[in-house]
């Protein structure tokens, strides 16, 4: 079969800061998926995109081409409206876990396709797999059955959903092109649009523990994704939220499940509860549902917990099995008395990763019990020798490198000093 274009022409065009035509983009994504465009050629093009960017039309067409590489899901047979949420990831970000059953308890259907952790940010599927028997991989038929029975499902994306993205994501990861906004936006939105949900709320993190630390870049990414979703007929909006300090008081797989259960029982850390409720209200509003019971009440009265237990059980999980506890632990204590002024989310995340809660490359196993408990947050008064962090791992030889990562991870100052923190929600973006 003769090809319409040559890869080198397209690489050269983007290298020279030219726009790619719709036909060039369609061919490039399809040809790479088919193996006609080699990895080294696509690597060159990705770097050219990172350096020279893409305009809105190019990003939209690139996203469309990735969607066209696979199947598109359809939820029209459901008796309720579908809405999904996507987070760009952070440290201690377990919001998906209480949020999906909460929104389902309030009347929407939530087909939540989630991922695994890589590096210092945790993965929702890794957290859920710390529940005995729970399975992440469902067929489309199984996924539909869980949603019909429970109102929500959290599972892995099937191989048929935007396969071009899977191939491109792996290449970006090893070629230093992960940070390109056109590529991030099209990667996320190709899967979310192909998922077939009627509305989508994006939680775009910013701060040291986020994928993007600069709020301006995070807002640009959020706007790009909102525009892509709305153009594709998915009602899309975004919140740019803080990730300068870890969310909640736990970082790690089973530790975060334990905290999720506290939230679903009507308790839990105030920042996790606040963001869960903000996103729940956004999701319900996006599909025009005015619930008879508010999300806040559905957390307090057990409705959300009922959906959670049903959903976990429907995916093979044992709700009553004990969660994993790491074999070893050590404490990091305050070296002075005063006010806790800062806590670096990225350093906490890297330490949890080194303890075994995360992975360095795709496919590596993670420890269910590894991670960090946080006993004080910025603004709290602490005394000398008070425990600030408890580190958990199955292998004590991991402590040294984790403690090294925590150098300068928090600071203590005078009781009257002002804490400099990002607000929980920095910006709200709607098309």
What's the fold here for domain 328-413? Aldehyde Oxidoreductase; domain 3 (3.90.1170)
pLDDT of residue 359: 78
**In the prediction, which pLDDT does 2 show?**
82
Q: 227-259 pLDDT, tens per residue?
A: 999 999 999 999 999 999 999 999 999 999 999
What is the domain partition of the chain in residue ranges? 7-53, 83-320, 328-413
Please tell me the CATH code under which domain 83-320 is placed: 3.40.1030.10
Shared fold status for 7-53 and 83-320: no
172 is catalytic: yes
What percent of the chain has pLDDT above 90?
90
- CB-CB neighbours of 67 under 10 Å: 23
Report the phi/psi class of residue 92: left, alpha or beta, with left for phi > 0 and alpha for psi in -120 to 50: left
Q: What is the pLDDT of residue 118?
A: 63
Mean pLDDT, range 50-56, rounded to an integer: 96
Looking at residue 319, its pLDDT comes to 98
Angle formed by the axes of helices 163-174 and 181-194, nearest 10°: 150
pLDDT at 179: 84
Helix (H) or strand (E) holding 399: helix 399-405
- 119 pLDDT exceeds 70? no
Q: Give the DSSP letter of residue 1.
A: -
Predicted confidence at residue 364, as pLDDT, reads 78
**Average pLDDT of span 262-267:** 97
pLDDT confidence of residue 257: 98
Q: How confident is the model at residue 37 (pLDDT cuts 50, 70, 90)?
A: very high
What integer pLDDT is reported at residue 272 of this predicted model? Answer: 98
Q: Can 165 be counted among the known catalytic residues?
A: yes
Q: What confidence score (pLDDT) does residue 178 get?
A: 83
Average pLDDT over residues 82-105: 96
Active-site annotation holder among 14, 61, 85, 86 = 86
Ramachandran region, residue 153 (left: φ > 0; alpha: ψ -120 to 50; beta: rest): beta
- Asked whether 71 and 160 are in contact (CB, 8 A), the reply is yes
Report, as an integer, the average pLDDT of 324-349.
97
Grouping H, G, I as helix, E, B as strand and the rest as coil, residue 319 is coil
> Would you place residue 404 in the very low, low, confident or very high pLDDT band (cuts 50, 70, 90)?
very high
Give the mean pLDDT of the chain. Answer: 95
* Catalytic position from the list 85, 191, 223, 354: 191
C-beta neighbour count of 2 within 10 angstroms:
3
Binning pLDDT at 50, 70 and 90, where does residue 1 land? low
Tell me how far the alpha carbon of residue 299 is from its chain's centroid.
22
Q: Is the pLDDT of residue 431 over 90?
A: no
Topology, domain 7-53: 1.20.970
List pLDDT tens digits, range 166-197. 899 888 878 888 889 999 999 999 999 999 99
Q: What mean pLDDT is predicted for residues 319-334?
A: 98
* List 116, 166, 172, 377, catalytic entry: 172
* Active-site annotation holds for 313: no
- From the list 30, 84, 93, 165, the catalytic residue is 165
Among the listed residues 44, 69, 114, 187, the single catalytic one is 187
- Residue 427: strand pairing partners: 240
Please give the pLDDT value at position 371.
97
């Amino acid at each position: 079969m003769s090809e319409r274009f040559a890869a080198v022409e397209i690489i050269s065009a983007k290298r020279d800061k030219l726009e790619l035509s719709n036909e060039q983009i369609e061919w490039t994504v399809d040809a790479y998926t088919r193996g006609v465009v080699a990895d080294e050629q696509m690597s060159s093009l990705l770097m050219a995109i990172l350096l020279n960017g893409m305009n809105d039309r190019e990003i939209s067409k690139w996203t469309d081409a990735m969607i066209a590489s696979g199947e598109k899901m359809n939820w029209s047979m459901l008796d309720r409206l579908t809405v999904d949420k996507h987070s760009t990831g952070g440290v201690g970000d377990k919001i998906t876990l209480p949020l999906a059953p909460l929104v389902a308890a309030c009347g929407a259907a939530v087909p939540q396709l989630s991922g695994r952790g890589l590096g210092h940010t945790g993965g929702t599927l890794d957290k859920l797999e710390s529940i005995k028997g729970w399975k992440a991989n469902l067929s489309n038929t199984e996924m539909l059955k869980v949603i019909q029975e429970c109102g929500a499902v959290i599972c892995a994306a099937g191989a048929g959903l935007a396969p071009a993205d899977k191939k491109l994501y792996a290449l970006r990861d090893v070629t230093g092109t992960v940070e390109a906004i056109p590529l991030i936006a099209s990667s996320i939105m190709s899967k979310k649009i192909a998922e077939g949900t009627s509305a989508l709320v994006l939680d775009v993190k910013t701060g040291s523990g986020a994928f993007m630390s600069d709020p301006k870049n995070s807002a640009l990414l959020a706007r790009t994704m909102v525009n892509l979703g709305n153009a594709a007929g998915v009602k899309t909006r975004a919140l740019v939220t803080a990730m300068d300090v870890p969310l909640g008081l736990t970082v790690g797989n089973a530790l975060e499940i334990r905290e999720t259960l506290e939230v679903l029982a009507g308790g839990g850390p105030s920042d996790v509860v606040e963001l869960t409720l903000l996103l729940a209200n956004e999701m319900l509003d996006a599909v025009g549902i005015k619930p008879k019971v508010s999300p806040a009440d559905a957390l307090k009265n057990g409705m959300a917990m009922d959906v959670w237990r049903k959903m976990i059980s429907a995916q093979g999980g044992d709700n009553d099995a004990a969660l994993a506890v790491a074999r070893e632990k050590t404490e990091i204590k305050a070296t002075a008395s005063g006010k806790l002024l800062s806590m670096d989310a990225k350093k906490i995340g890297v330490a949890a990763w080194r303890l075994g809660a995360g992975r360095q490359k795709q496919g590596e196993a993670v420890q269910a019990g590894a991670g960090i408990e946080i006993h004080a947050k910025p603004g709290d008064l602490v005394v000398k020798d008070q425990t600030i962090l408890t580190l958990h791992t199955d292998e004590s030889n991991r402590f040294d490198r984790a403690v090294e990562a925590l150098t300068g991870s928090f600071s203590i100052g005078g009781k009257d000093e002002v804490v400099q923190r990002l607000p929980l929600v920095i910006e709200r973006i709607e098309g």
